[in-house]
Amino acid sequence: MPLNKEIKTKLITDYHRHETDTGSPEVQVAILTTRINQLTSHLRANTHDESCRHGLLKLVGQRRRLLAYLRKAEYQRYLVLTDQLKLRRK
């Protein structure tokens, strides 16, 4: 279940740093968060889908690593991003 092109494009335009930016940590975390929310709702309906659960855990780990990098590199951008995406912080 990949994201629709329209949704992904909207996320990129909402969280990019400059016009040609598609891979900054903010954009990646926003895309991962949307995908995680999508898989979470799928797993609520399909509780025995273990392959989906495995993929979800991999995405959560990847997002956690990106957030840790952003927190270490530029703390103010980390705070803004977690507020925008309504993510808990440690």
Q: Collapse the DSSP code of 74 into the 3-class scheme (helix H, G, I; strand E, B; otherwise coil) and give the result.
A: coil
- Say if residue 60 is exposed, middle or buried (CB neighbours under 10 Å; 0-12, 13-18, 19+): middle
> pLDDT at position 13, please?
95
> pLDDT at position 35, please?
97
**Whether pLDDT at 3 is above 90:** no
Q: Is the dihedral of CA 22, 24, 26, 32 positive or negative?
A: positive
Name the pLDDT band for 2 (thresholds 50, 70, 90). confident
> pLDDT at position 81, please?
96
CA 68 to chain centre: 13
Is pTM beyond 0.95? Reply is no
- Say if residue 3 is exposed, middle or buried (CB neighbours under 10 Å; 0-12, 13-18, 19+): middle
